[in-house]
């Protein structure tokens, strides 16, 4: 009987040891890393039109040889130029735990009733990003960062700062939207309200990325306020753009 008790104690000891080993192995295999960083303006050359605040948060979850990476964040820009701003183009970039992500930001007030006033702010959500699960690669870790590069600014007096190629792209986008508005109005005048409603809701790939947010806004407007509100919006956008063009500054 004594020998049986000793054998039982030995088995229990082995089981406890095995449990500890399994828990230790699990803690080594499954690991989480997190980081939160503040946005930094790295525009080159330096600009004096906008300031930025905000943070980006990163998380890396490892399990065996697999990894899942997530990113969330937001930024707020403030007009510190002392003048109304008509257009802004910037690029946001994040790096953390071997992963890099970027997001282009374009905000053009050319078809809106008011530009971005001095002192006014605008919130910019950073697109959520999730990568994986995928194999852990051999790329070295990079220090976490959240950076913004302002590429182009146009003031309400028509003066511009930044990349001339980006300025040409903004001018092209404005023409795309103008042509889109004219086409919608022609559809309404020739085919009626139902045809206009069908056109703005059409599931199509727009030829210009500048058209997509305009179409999306009109779909929401149609859903909540009807086609007459959409028609009024089209005419209002055309009127605002014509007034800016009439100044000869745009």
Report the candidate in 40, 65, 61, 38 with the shortest Cα–Cα distance to residue 51: 40
Query: How many alpha carbons fall within 13 Å on the CB side of residue 68?
Result: 8
Report the candidate in 39, 35, 144, 30 with the shortest Cα–Cα distance to residue 98: 144
Q: In the chain, where do the E strands start and end?
A: 31-38, 40-41, 50-63, 66-79, 85-96, 99-108, 121-135, 145-155, 160-162
What pLDDT, on a 0 to 100 scale, did the predictor assign at position 93? 95
Distance, first Cα to last Cα, the chain: 100
Which pLDDT tens digit goes with each residue over 144-185? 999 999 999 999 999 999 999 999 999 999 999 999 999 999
- pLDDT, averaged across the chain: 86
Cβ burial, residue 89 (10 Å; 0-12/13-18/19+): buried
Which pLDDT tens digit goes with each residue over 83-95? 999 999 999 999 9
Query: Per-residue pLDDT averaged across 199-217, rounded?
Result: 87
Residue-range domain boundaries for the chain: 31-162, 164-246
| 131-135, 147-151, 204-208, 224-228: least confidently modelled range | 131-135
What class does CATH assign to 31-162? mainly beta
Residue with tokens 């790939």: 205
Beta bridge partners of 121: 78
């Amino acid at each position: 009987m004594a020998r049986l008790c000793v054998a039982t104690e030995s088995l229990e000891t082995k089981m406890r040891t095995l449990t500890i080993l399994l828990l230790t192995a699990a803690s080594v295999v499954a690991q989480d890393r997190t980081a939160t960083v503040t946005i930094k303006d790295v525009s080159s050359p330096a600009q004096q039109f906008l300031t930025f605040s905000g943070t980006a948060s990163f998380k890396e979850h490892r399990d065996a040889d697999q990894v899942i990476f997530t990113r969330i964040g937001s930024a707020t820009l403030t007009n510190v130029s002392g003048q109304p701003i008509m257009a802004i183009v910037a690029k946001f970039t994040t790096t953390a735990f071997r992963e890099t992500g970027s997001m282009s930001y374009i905000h053009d007030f050319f078809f809106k009733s008011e530009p971005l006033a001095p002192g006014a702010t605008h919130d910019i959500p950073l697109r959520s990003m999730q990568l994986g699960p995928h194999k852990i690669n051999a790329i070295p870790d990079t220090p976490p960062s959240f950076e913004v590069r302002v590429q182009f600014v146009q003031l309400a007096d028509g003066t511009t700062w930044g990349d001339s190629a980006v300025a040409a792209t903004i001018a092209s986008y404005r023409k795309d939207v103008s042509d889109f508005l004219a086409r919608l109005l022609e559809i309404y005048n020739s085919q009626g309200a139902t045809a206009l409603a069908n056109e703005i809701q059409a599931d199509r790939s727009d030829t210009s990325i500048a058209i997509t947010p305009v179409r999306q806004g009109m779909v929401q407007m149609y859903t909540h306020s009807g086609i007459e509100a959409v028609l009024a919006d089209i005419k209002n956008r055309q009127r605002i753009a014509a007034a800016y063009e009439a100044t000869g500054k745009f």
